[in-house]
Each structure stands twice: as C-alpha cells, then as structure tokens.
Amino acid sequence: MSVAQGYWTSFIRCYNPNTHRQPGTPEWQAWTRANPEQRLMFQTGNTTMEAVPADQQARCAYLSSIGVQLQQ
C-alpha cells in the first residue's frame, strides 16, 4: 500500500489520517490558520512534515483574506 493510500484509507475509516497510517510514516499534523508552519510532503522513501516558507504563508494569508470577495 502506498503512503498516500494509507493516510487516505485511514481518513475514510475514522476521519483521522493518522489512526491507520502505514507504520513508520510521520503523523500528519493539522494545518490551521493559527499554525500554518508545517505541511506533509509526500516523497518516495522520505515522506515527512516540513516547514512552509514564510513567503508562501504570506501568499496563502492574502488569498484567504480576499476569498469572500472573490466568492471562493
């Protein structure tokens, strides 16, 4: 089973991607507006939580701030 499939099937079964993830894979930490510093990076043989660059966080915050105006 692939790493992504493990997270996906766990989410389908329990609404939590971590409950039945593959052994040895990192815990998928929640991304929130209050804590946007980490994201899960899928890479063959090296899936990991990684830092989100500050400039990307700023772009995401901007788009989030205008979402209502864009009706998105």
Distances (CA, A) of 57 to 18, 29, 67, 68: 24, 16, 15, 19
The reported pLDDT for the residue numbered 72 is 62
Domain hosting 58: range is: 3-70
Domain count, the chain: 1
3-state secondary structure of 45: coil
Q: Which amino acid is at 54?
A: A
Of the chain, the percentage scoring pLDDT greater than 70 comes to 93
Q: State the DSSP string of 15-36.
A: S-TTTTPPTTPPP-PPP-SS-T
**For a pLDDT cut of 90, what percent of the chain falls above it?**
46
Q: How far apart are the C-alpha atoms of 49 and 31, rounded to whole Å?
A: 11
**Whole-structure pTM value:** 0.65
> Could you tell me which residue, 37 or 52, shows the higher pLDDT?
52
The mean pLDDT value for 19-39 works out to 85
Confidence of residue 6 (pLDDT cuts 50, 70, 90): very high
